[in-house]
A and B are shown apart, each in its own frame.
Chain A
């Protein structure tokens, strides 16, 4: 089936204006009669909840953390892009649009991305008005920096804590609506099912994580803002609690899952130190501006780095990509690091690391200059590893960072299930096959502040659905299923913990479905993942009871969903016989090791349809139409 994204016709610059003009509006006096359910409180969820409350809707807002301010948007460091052109360096909405499409390796929709660039400026205005302390110049104007290889300075930032400050701005707006009685917060509450009535999303079933109580919530529309699924790899830069359960439950209820294989791997993370490693920490990519990446030339060279002479070092990025060198794009640097380690040249515990060496820069610029640029990052590195990067080269290794795939949505950010909207990293819409630096914050807030408050009004105003209560059979059935699942976890009483299985899944995903995939590795994954899943359901041990604060039950439910998502991820990677953005297939590369796209056959979004337990997924395709830009092949040689 070909999917229709309902992108308005007409010139690119007019599409959003036209769509807004065509929307039906809800009478202001009637808004209080409608309830919108928002799951998630990150940038997209908090900004949507606050904006709905301001408009007059009743909002029920859910998060699994103890307070909405913990959502993982808070950990974003770098910044947020906007096409303000404050620096007079030739930026424009068009250029931001073009860079985003190109960065996504031509696998995103023109219409959505143009709108994203268009509203980017409103975000900066909104956040500033809220009191977000963006960096300033001495004259009092906003400061910008260039980020992630962009040729213009369009990134706004608040020290290294831009995500934190933008999230707190949205959180404060949301708390104001809680105080005004328009938003009701449900912290420590996890969505465990989506309820569909007459083909429309009408509510959710949740579990109170403190008491274990299972409850239904009915609404006129449901918004999922639950983030990405990077933790399917076990180790990633995501928060420990980040999970795919909300979107996966919705997928099982009929929402299409698009492009799951597009995963972004970040080249500069602190390597894992041992078996017990629980998560990976990102080090800003800016370090590559002054650090040189190398590994020993000879296998088994155990000398300390300062005793390995230049002749015995392989500065592999400089060697392979002389023009860009250590600044080669994220995916290229990541793959090159893994190749070096797989060849036995890796450094540090377990041989999973490469050196990022600042000694040349320190010699050239002085220690003080380096400290000014990277002092806080060097401190962070030392706190975690106990090594001083001023005197010993840093060790870095790639890690899963962001997932571009997610639930399929149309131009209005509505999934194929009417009434189910998906925003932020949880949807698949704007980044194509790869996301540019400083664009995640932009998309989350664009969706929540400036897109969905309009589009959801249109959906509600068009009405056509019956008034129902939580006593509806569909809710009762979903409640029973949720309660039963918890019981099942508790009754298995096997030998291994949830973490044991999650680590095993992570190993398979990283090795077979990681940054370089082949037909062979993917077929292997598709064989091993279901076996692991079966073992999990037979042999997991979840202690305690379901009627209490029980973190093992939370983890078990999330992992059970990750197993299914992992299989779809591998399947999607297998069907995409090309390399593009965050999806690299070993069979499809140029002689220089560059990703080789196949625009003739794969310029589409893959939207997978769940057909039931044990049934194969059905692939629906949304063809990507490029009317305004010319598809190009990149070269970083």
Chain B
């Protein structure tokens, strides 16, 4: 089939970008979307032009490295699908596709469709863990976890950190991403000691990075390739609120007198 692509080209974060049009004459239905771009890039190289930069690694939908916007939808419009797992049979002859990077203030453009998502790493750094050093833990079966909690935690832990939720959100909020980690750990007994501090610190980091606030529009969950549910944001808010009450300035060490 024939496709017309309009792809965002931008040499680096400092230079202005623009859409450039490419005609694809013979796209095979069985190709993945990224393989279609591979073919385009091979042609560009043959013509002496620079290929389109885009990120990908596992190409199995699990590493979270790929992702861009196709006609306004992060990862395209197939549900529960990363762009590396999106196949061309879902498109039709003569279609025009506009590809642009995930756009958010917190995601600077590296080149073309590749972006810098290190802000998400810093959100995890702020508290997305259980503080436990290598070594000491007791036997794994000493910690009983109800199967339902474990299953819900796993649902939230399935987040691949691709950033589609941020790109989909009109506020460029990372609440689905942050809520997913807070829910994963907060649903397990291991995550309880840091439940409140985690929510406070991670929320603070969201603001520092320039992610927007959540106004519960729900576009994030719609575009999430792993089906993370909006309820993780509710759980995050509850932990945050709890933290706001529970956490105060530390009392001074010395007593009176």
Contact = CB atoms under 8 A, between A and B. Distances in A.
B141 A552 contact: no
B249 interface: no
Contact of B134 (A139, A449, A499): A449
A494 to B, nearest CB: 11
Contact of A173 (B65, B110, B115, B129): B129
B158 interface: yes
Contact of A124 (B31, B132, B140): B140
Interface in A480-504: 497, 499-500
Interface residues of A, number: 80
Given A129-B190, A241-B57, A278 B32 contact: yes
B147 A136 contact: yes
Nearest to B44: A543
A355 B150 CA distance: 37
A187 interface: yes
Contacts of A164: 62, 158, 160
A261 to B, nearest CB: 26
Given A66-B118, A133-B153, A549-B111, A278 B35 contact: yes
Contact of B30 (A136, A139, A165, A274): A274
Contacts of B150: 133-136
Nearest to B114: A549
A386 B38 contact: no
A3 interface: no
A178 interface: yes
A131 B57 contact: no
Contacts of A240: 56-59
Interface stretch (B45-53, B166-174, B234-242): B45-53
A125 B134 contact: no
A449 B157 CA distance: 22
Interface string B121-138: 100111011111111011
Interface stretch (A68-76, A94-102, A515-523): A68-76
Contacts of B140: 84, 124-125, 127-129, 134, 142
B30 A497 contact: no
A173 B124 CA distance: 10
B125 A178 contact: yes
Nearest to B153: A133
B184 interface: yes
Contacts of A161: 62, 158
A75 B184 contact: no
Interface stretch (B68-76, B81-89, B92-100, B208-216): B81-89
Contacts of B124: 171-172, 175
A168 B58 CA distance: 16
Chain B: interface secondary structure? loop
Contact of B144 (A71, A140, A185, A384): A140
A466 B151 CA distance: 53
B55 interface: yes
A178 B126 CA distance: 10
B12 A549 contact: yes
Given A128-B190, A168-B157, A239-B59, A67 B129 contact: no
A158 interface: yes
Contact of A179 (B11, B114, B125, B153): B125
Given A125-B138, A129-B132, A276-B28, A179 B126 contact: yes
A443 B5 CA distance: 45
A339 interface: no
Q: Which one of B38, B48, B62 has the greatest number of beta carbons of chain A within 10 Å?
A: B62
Nearest to A180: B125
Contact of A131 (B31, B62, B114, B130): B130
Contacts of B87: 383-384, 386
B134 A137 contact: no
A52 to B, nearest CB: 10
A133 B45 contact: no
Contacts of A68: 121
Contacts of A450: 134
B151 to A, nearest CB: 8
A50 to B, nearest CB: 7
B121 A67 contact: yes
Contacts of B244: none
Given A54-B133, A274-B28, A386-B29, A67 B111 contact: no
A86 interface: yes
A185 B121 contact: yes
Nearest to B143: A128
B117 A67 contact: yes
Contacts of B89: 386
Contacts of B42: 497, 499-500
Interface of B: 11-12, 28-32, 34-36, 38-39, 42, 45-46, 48-51, 53, 55-60, 62-65, 81, 85, 87, 89, 110-111, 114-118, 120-121, 124-126, 128-135, 137-141, 143-147, 150-151, 153-154, 157-158, 160-161, 184-185, 188, 190-191
5 contacts: A65-B65, A67-B121, A84-B140, A140-B146, A282-B60
Interface of A: 47, 50-51, 54, 65-72, 74-75, 84, 86, 124-131, 133-142, 158-159, 161, 164-165, 168, 171-173, 175-176, 178-179, 185, 187-188, 210, 239-241, 273-274, 276-279, 281-282, 349, 383-386, 449-450, 453, 497, 499-500, 541, 543-544, 548-549, 551-552
Given A54-B134, A159-B158, A164-B158, 9 more contacts: A72-B63, A125-B138, A126-B134, A128-B143, A133-B153, A176-B131, A277-B35, A278-B35, A543-B50
